[in-house]
């Protein structure tokens, strides 16, 4: 018999009754029932109930074991007594009657329990992550992550993509976040950058004549952490294709992402035939470029009904042509208590309040706004929004560029409070036609609003003859349940168009050649039209596991201060290391 086990703790079944078995694992839970000990023995594969009674030669040692001790157990497999089977366990029909126990690894007093799903402070969980990972839910999430990545690989290869690995030590890239820099010992005073994304490399792969590339790519960005973005590093399903237009990328990617969601949705419906929503439409209807389409509410502009009305606050605002009034429908929300609650919520968000109209039986409008604008305008709003008795509408006013984020939050709040959101489904959509440029108010200049390597719609002609802030890009995202899970574009593969695009954002040709020389040179020697995208592995797994924090699906994450408190990183370098790198530190004063 094997030194440690003849079976795993998830393997024994009714067909093994009467045989001897050897198991090794962790003591998950220990129960004393009138002098008879029951040990739930756990390993990676499952859990088996071990029984030790006073007649067993192993009983004396069994009395000393505690939770999370690692033990080896020899014994006889037998049926559980009638009425004690556990249908929720694959091993639930049998138990192992212990005849011998060996302690392989005793455990000190636990800083957090493994049994159960009690929430513990982040610092404790991350400092003792090896214990945290033993917990059933987290262990299952990590295994799901691995299975999702396997499925992605299989589906990509099934679509004719080839997997390549791009360098980790590379040059700085303008992806919009800070780089992690790595000093070079061999070339004093110079630095590598960890890749924010394999953007330039994957385009160079297309220049090199490989037709369809993908990888599960590690990416590194020195940006502030948040719940849906891991500090430091994250992983993405990165892909690129040659001789394609936008629709070709959609046709290749959509079945991969839909298939992964369907494989791991645990029966939840997954949308097919994803809608294509232009960026501008998404912002006006949903107040975000990553809409949660499980929420059926759509905002509408209702400025005309308030222009010149008796509600002077809105009427005066609308004298400025930049300002608008948007309405958020609230079907079923026409009670004073709900409307007041929404108004209080808005004030808690730093707003002066949230105007509203309620509709009574017979279509009569109620509330301060209805009283000020009169029944005719109130009825016109009701008809435009398709509302009726017992419904309400909420209003935001001003410059949409300034209030759009709040309007989107209000739409989400109304939908969730009125229980209009079906949380048990996955709704996916393409967001298309992103603006190529945006205005940088701080620097008073035009900036790239998304990926600088995307193809502008209209190509070089648009760059030469169009207001930069009106140019759209062949740039697209995938949104799912309120999260952006993928982003991509058709690339700008013409060197003259690349130079012009960067020129409008304030970079001269010399700077382009200096910073992106490899790609610029490649474009001179026959560049195929190409495009692709990158899907966030971490966010996709987070959605599939039904959690809202990426730490629940990442095996060894950092904390919210971007520290690995398990391994003690970041940490000061030794004087010897700094000398070898020709570096001195210049720390801020405390």
The residue ranges of every structural domain in the chain are: 14-105, 138-272+428-576, 295-417
Q: What is the DSSP string of 530-560?
A: EEEEEEEHHHHHHHHHT-S-GGGS-SS---T
295-417: CATH, from 3.40.640.10, 3.40.50.150, 3.30.1360.30, 3.40.50.300:
3.30.1360.30
- Residue 109's pLDDT is 96
Enumerate the β-bridge partners of residue 71. 25, 103
Given a cut of 80, whether residue 526 has pLDDT beyond it is yes
Q: Indicate the CATH number for domain 138-272+428-576.
A: 3.30.930.10
First to last CA, the chain: 63
Q: Quick: pLDDT tens for 110-146.
A: 999 999 888 889 999 999 999 999 999 999 999 999 9
- Residue 281's pLDDT is 98
Distance CA 324, CA 312 (A): 14
Taking residues 483-496, report their average pLDDT: 95
Kind of pairing between the strands at 212-221 and 162-163: parallel
Question: In the structure encoding, which two tokens stand for residue 289, read together?
Answer: 């470029």
| Beta strand segments in 34-161, E | 36-43, 46-52, 70-79, 94-105
Cα-Cα-Cα-Cα torsion 457, 463, 465, 467, nearest 10 degrees, comes to: 80
The residues, any chain, with a CB within 8 Å of residue 22's CB and separated by 6 or more, are 1, 2, 4, 5, 6, 7, 72, 73, 74
Tell me the pLDDT band of 363, cut-offs 50, 70 and 90. Answer: confident
- Residue 441's pLDDT is 84
3-class DSSP state of 448: strand
pTM: 0.92
Q: Percent of the chain at pLDDT above 90?
A: 88
Question: In the structure encoding, which two tokens stand for residue 371, read together?
Answer: 């009283």
The residues, any chain, with a CB within 8 Å of residue 387's CB and separated by 6 or more, are 329, 331, 359, 393
Given a cut of 70, whether residue 174 has pLDDT beyond it is no
- Residue 514's pLDDT is 85
- Give the architecture-level CATH label for domain 14-105: Beta Barrel (2.40)
Q: Quick: pLDDT tens for 438-469.
A: 988 888 889 998 888 899 999 999 999 999 99
Q: Quick: pLDDT tens for 285-294.
A: 999 999 999 9
Computed from CA positions of residues 304, 308, 309, 311, in that sequence, does the dihedral angle turn out positive or negative?
positive
Distance CA 24, CA 74 (A): 9
- Residue 560's pLDDT is 87
- Residue 176's pLDDT is 63
Computed from CA positions of residues 369, 372, 374, 377, in that sequence, does the dihedral angle turn out positive or negative?
negative
């Amino acid at each position: 018999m094997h030194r440690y086990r003849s079976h795993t703790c998830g393997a024994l079944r009714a067909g093994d009754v009467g045989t001897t078995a050897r198991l090794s694992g962790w003591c998950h839970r220990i129960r004393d029932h009138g002098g008879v000990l029951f040990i739930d023995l756990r390993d990676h594969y499952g859990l088996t109930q071990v029984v030790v009674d006073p007649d067993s030669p192993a009983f004396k040692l069994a009395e000393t074991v505690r939770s999370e001790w690692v033990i080896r157990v020899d014994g006889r497999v037998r049926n559980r007594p009638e009425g004690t089977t556990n249908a929720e366990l694959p091993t639930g029909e049998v138990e192992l009657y212990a005849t011998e126990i060996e302690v392989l690894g005793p455990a000190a007093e636990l800083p957090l329990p493994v049994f159960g799903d009690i929430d513990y402070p982040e610092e404790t969980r991350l400092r003792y992550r090896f214990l945290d990972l033993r917990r059933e839910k987290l262990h299952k999430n990590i295994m799901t992550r691995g299975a999702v990545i396997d499925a992605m690989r299989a589906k990509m290869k099934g679509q004719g993509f080839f997997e390549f690995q791009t360098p980790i030590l590379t040059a700085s890239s303008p992806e919009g976040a800070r780089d992690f820099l790595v000093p070079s010992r061999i070339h004093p005073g110079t630095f590598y950058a960890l890749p924010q994304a394999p953007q330039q490399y994957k385009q160079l792969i297309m220049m090199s004549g490989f037709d369809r590339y993908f990888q599960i790519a590690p990416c590194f960005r020195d940006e502030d952490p948040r719940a849906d973005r891991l500090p430091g590093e994250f992983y993405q399903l990165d892909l690129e294709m040659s001789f394609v237009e936008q629709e070709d990328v959609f046709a290749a990617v959509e079945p991969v992402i839909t298939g992964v969601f369907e494989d791991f949705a645990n029966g939840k419906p997954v949308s097919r035939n994803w809608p294509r929503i232009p960026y501008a439409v998404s912002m006006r209807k949903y107040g975000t470029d990553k809409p949660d389409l499980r929420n059926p509410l759509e905002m509408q502009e209702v400025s005309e009904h308030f222009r010149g009305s008796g509600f002077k606050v809105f009427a005066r605002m609308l004298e400025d042509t930049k300002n608008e009034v948007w309405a958020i429908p609230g079907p079923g929300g026409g009670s004073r208590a709900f409307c007041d609650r929404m108004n209080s919520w808005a004030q808690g968000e730093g707003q002066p309040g949230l105007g509203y109209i309620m509709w009574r039986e017979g279509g009569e409008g109620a509330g301060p706004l209805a009283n000020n604008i009169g029944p005719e305008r109130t009825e016109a709003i009701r008809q435009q929004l398709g509302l009726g008795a017992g419904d309400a509408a909420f209003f935001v006013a001003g410059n949409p560029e300034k209030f759009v984020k709040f309007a989107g939050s209000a739409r989400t709040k109304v939908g969730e409070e009125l229980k209009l959101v079906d949380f048990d489904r996955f709704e996916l959509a393409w967001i298309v036609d992103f603006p190529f440029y945006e205005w940088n108010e701080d620097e008073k200049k035009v900036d790239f609003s998304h990926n600088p390597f995307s193809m502008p719609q209209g190509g070089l002609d648009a760059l030469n003859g169009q207001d930069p802030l009106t140019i759209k890009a062949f740039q697209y995202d995938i949104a799912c349940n309120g999260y952006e899970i993928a982003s991509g574009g058709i690339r700008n593969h013409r060197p003259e168009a690349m130079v012009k695009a960067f020129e409008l954002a304030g970079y001269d040709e010399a700077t382009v050649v200096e910073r992106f020389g490899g790609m610029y040179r490649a474009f001179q020697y026959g560049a195929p039209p190409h495009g692709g995208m990158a899907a966030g592995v971490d966010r996709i797994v987070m959605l599939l596991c039904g959690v809202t924090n990426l730490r629940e699906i990442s095996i060894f994450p950092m904390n919210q201060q971007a520290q690995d408190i398990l391994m003690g990183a970041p940490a000061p370098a030794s004087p010897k290391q700094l000398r070898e790198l020709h570096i001195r530190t210049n720390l801020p004063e405390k």
